[in-house]
Amino acid sequence: MEGAGEDVPDNANEHCPGTESEAAGKSAACAGCPNQQACATGPKGPDPDLAAISQRMSSVKHVILVLSGKGGVGKSTFAAQLSFALAGMDKQVGLLDIDICGPSIPKMLGLEGQEIHQSNLGWSPVYVEDNLGVMSIGFMLPDPDEAVIWRGPRKNGLIKQFLKDVYWADLDFLVVDAPPGTSDEHISIAQYLKVANVAGAIVVTTPQEVSIIDVRKEISFCKKVGIPVLGVVENMSGLQLPVRDLVFRKSSDDGQEDEDVTREVMLKLETLAPELLSTLACAQVFYVSGGGAQEMARQMRVPFLGRVPLDPRLSRAAEQGKSCFEDSPSPSGLALKGIIKRLLKAIG
């Protein structure tokens, strides 16, 4: 919209009252607007709690949002391993999980079954290490299999409570794992964090176009609400694993039976070409039709931070709630180290 204020989305209807107006999503001008539902349920007007959020966030040097356009792209895995890596650099790190309906961070940090405690300073995060604290709705659920069936206002209320009531103390980095898409939670976090030191957002995608289509929307959202895009990460970018970890199978002509021939293949490799056992086997799992995340980032004029391959050791680390950087270097661990190095350089 020409002449629109900073709280009026670019794709809003004419005479939009603004996302922070009491009439947002409810006035006659809102009829048919693509943002109507989100605006109707989002927080309105000058928020009296912003002062409390500002005070809490004043002790956080850098807030990093981890976003994705589509679910299942490894966003939470990236957020967890980013937090492990930063803590491993002796930084004071907090990880805030605002994926209200799908909180997977407690599992990925090895904190299942933990509970939140309160003190006179506020809610206390659950700590993995002395310098890595975590907050998630997952710690509040009496049954981990229980579905969280909440409407927008209740989700927004919990996000606000996390920001104003959790006592993080002094942090170098607060990593925020957001749900996929551009829903109520994203509008809320963008509004609430206007009073914080937001370094920007990392957007995670997989290589195929069906994911990248939605990532374009996520980047557009960040630009509209004034959140800097620190860069795009292409996750699950091909499969890489050592040849010695491969499993070989031989199918029957009718495809009904599989015979495991791994032992025979490995014996031949050890005899005829032992040097191949230490090489990496690589394969493109997803069909990439549009140039992948790097080309999309170029078109959208945002940084491309790098690619992380599919790697069984990264998957194992996430399942076990551990850092993928603890053991010997893996393809995904090396890729993540390079991405984090570029990320810290961008933040400065």
Angle at 203 between CA 198 and CA 209, to 5 degrees: 160
Reported as a pLDDT band with limits 50, 70 and 90, residue 10 is low
Residue 324 marked ligand-binding: no
Residue 8 marked ligand-binding: no
pLDDT tens digits for range 134-149:
999 999 888 778 788 8
State the DSSP code for 167: -
The pLDDT assigned to 77 comes to: 96
Confidence check: pLDDT of 4 > 80: no
Residue 76 marked ligand-binding: yes
Contacts of 313 (CB under 8 A, 6+ apart): 324, 327, 330, 332, 333
Residue 194 marked ligand-binding: no
Residue 33 marked ligand-binding: yes
pLDDT > 70 fraction of the chain, expressed in percent and rounded: 96
Contacts of 201 (CB under 8 A, 6+ apart): 64, 65, 66, 67, 222, 227, 228, 229, 230
Domains of the chain and any CATH numbers: 49-238+286-347 (3.40.50.300), 239-283 (no CATH)
Residue 30 marked ligand-binding: yes
* Average pLDDT value over all residues in the chain: 89
Residue 74 marked ligand-binding: yes
Section 20-37 average pLDDT: 82
Section 47-68 average pLDDT: 93
pLDDT tens digits for range 174-220:
999 999 988 888 888 998 999 999 999 999 999 999 999 999 999 99
Q: Report the candidate in 70, 43, 16 with the shortest Cα–Cα distance to residue 194.
A: 43
Residue 71 marked ligand-binding: yes
Q: Are strands 229-242 and 280-283 parallel, antiparallel or unpaired?
A: antiparallel
